[in-house]
Amino acid sequence: MQIQGRGMPRSRYLERGAVERSHGARLRLQWMDDYRQHGRNAALTCRHFGFSRQTFYRWKGRYDPEDLASLEARSHRPHRRRQPTWTAELAERVLRLRRQYPRWGKDKLAVLLHREGRAVSTSMVGRIRWRLKARGVLIEPPTIHLKARRRARPYARRKPRDYRPQAPGDLVEVDTLELHPLPGVTIKQFTARDVVSRWDVLEAHTRATATLAAGFLDTLRARLPFPVRALQVDGGSEFAAQFEAACQERGLELFVLPPRSPIRNGHVERANRTHTEEFYAITPTHFALAPLNAELRAWEPTSTPSAPTRPSATSPPPSSLPNPNPTERSPCVTNLLDEYRVFQSERRRCICMYVFCCGASGATGDAEAHATEPHRCGR
């Protein structure tokens, strides 16, 4: 075997068959190899690996090519450890108190020891407890995580991921809205919104109970012109017990939301905000239930952004109505914004047509006038 070069490092040769070294030791071995291969230029090696010269020279002084263990990190343990200053009698007393009060920490144990006339600090009690646990004398009791008891839901279930509402009635979100319009006056409003047709049904009460929620199902059946196939509710107590049993009797699918996830009931949550800001906040209303429900019934068509044509007093009953078209729009206040957007879109289209047909040299005023007049070129 021919060896070329003077001072050829033997670290790679020694590494073969050697014990497995740590990642830090292998990295420092690369430092030493690079240092020898580049003419013992420490500055170049430090710049290449990104560390200081002081670090390199410290490890260079420790490095022994015959012993790669010299590149391992040394222990940082102090040469002289602090010896315990407490007595065995004090440690035994701490052990007995800890076994008597298994969940008490060093602060409470120190107070008990002070009451016995023992001059001991809180930190010393903590060190005694740690030493007893390290020796295996003190065994901590197991931690028991108590979970809240979940309410049994014999019929409701989570909505499947592949469930997609396609027609009106496929999914109706139901929620309660609590209002305090006056001191001592509480209104609990049941709100239902169909996610396809955006049809709202409202009913106000003074309480929100499972019995009243079950009666709200009859209100939904009477007011909606299409059959309801599935309901989605949160985990409120008003949507359990009698309400769940009523859904099962009527053959309605009942989906319950996971805890703390109102975003999954976003349609009805947005409807509650609309009713609060546009009806209760600015409309003079009665707080007696009968007139309030009558006003809510009159407000429903206005609050619905998109819904099939509402049946009037002379219209046939909902059971004889044809299948509603969810694309039809009802004339309501909310539709004014949509009409304005359509007008602006048509206006931009006409301006673009004018520039394309008549040339980009036309004045802006002509294009603006063209947006409100028929196109002269017939295009």
Q: What pLDDT is attached to residue 351?
A: 57
Mean pLDDT of 70-90: 88
DSSP 283-303: S----SHHHHHHHHHHHHHHH
Alpha-carbon distance 231 to 247, whole Å?
9
How confident is the model at residue 350, as a pLDDT?
A: 59
pLDDT tens-digit series, residues 302-338: 876 544 444 444 344 444 444 444 444 344 434 444 5
- pLDDT, residue 352, reads 55
Average pLDDT over residues 131-151: 82
Q: What is the mean pLDDT of residues 136-157?
A: 81
Helix intervals (H) in the chain: 11-15, 23-37, 42-49, 53-62, 88-100, 106-115, 122-135, 210-223, 242-250, 266-275, 289-303, 335-358, 364-370
Domain boundary assignment for the chain: 11-71, 95-135, 172-311, 336-370
pLDDT digits (tens, 9 = 90+) for 107-139: 999 999 999 999 999 999 999 999 999 999 998
93, 104, 134, 185 from 100: Cα distances, Å: 11, 9, 19, 53
What is this structure's pTM? 0.48
- 172-311: which CATH number, 3.40.50.300, 3.40.50.970, 3.30.420.10, 1.10.1200.10? 3.30.420.10
Which comes out higher in pLDDT, residue 22 or 3? 22
Range name among 14-23, 202-211, 370-379 with the lowest pLDDT average = 370-379
pLDDT of residue 359: 54
The answer on pLDDT for 238 being more than 70 is: yes
Q: How confident is the model at residue 80 (pLDDT cuts 50, 70, 90)?
A: confident
Longest alpha-carbon distance in the chain: 111
